[in-house]
Amino acid sequence: MKTIKGPGLFLAQFAGDEAPFNSWDSITQWAADCGYSGVQVPSWDGRLFDLDQAASSKTYCDDIAGIARENGVEVTDLSTHLQGQLVAVHPAYDAAFDGFAAPAVHGNPKARQAWAVDQVNKAITASANLGIGQHVTFSGALAWPYVYPWPQRPAGLVEAAFDELAARWRPILDHADENGVDVCYEIHPGEDLHDGVTFEMFLERVDNHARANMLYDPSHYVLQCLDYLDNLDIYADRIKMFHVKDAEFNPTGRQGVYGGYQPWVNRAGRFRSLGDGQVDFRAVFSKLAAMDFDGWAVVEWECALKHPEDGAREGAAFVRDHIIRVTDKAFDDFADGGADDAGNRAMLGLDR
User: Please, what is the end-to-end C-alpha distance for the chain in angstroms?
Assistant: 39
Task: Name residues whose C-beta falls within 8 Å of residue 174's C-beta, 6 or more positions apart in sequence.
Answer: none
CA distances from 10 to 35, 134, 190, 244 (A): 13, 14, 20, 10
Distance of alpha carbon 27 from alpha carbon 20, whole angstroms: 5
Residue 134: the pLDDT is: 98
Side chain identity, residue 27? I
pLDDT tens per residue, range 243-270: 999 999 999 999 999 999 999 999 999 9
pLDDT tens per residue, range 130-157: 999 999 999 999 999 999 999 999 999 9
Beta-carbon-side half-sphere exposure of residue 107 (alpha carbons within 13 Å): 2
What stretches in the chain show pLDDT beneath 70?
331-335, 337
Share of the chain above pLDDT 70, in %: 98
Q: What is the CATH number of domain 5-348?
A: 3.20.20.150
Angle value at C-alpha 136, between 11 and 182, nearest 5 degrees: 140
For residue 296, how far is the Cα from the chain centroid? 10
The rounded mean pLDDT for the chain is: 96
Side chain identity, residue 286? S
Q: Provide the Cα torsion 281, 282, 283, 286; round to 10°.
A: 120
Other C-beta atoms lying within 10 Å of the C-beta of residue 17: 7
Residue 338: the pLDDT is: 73
Distance of alpha carbon 240 from alpha carbon 287, whole angstroms: 14
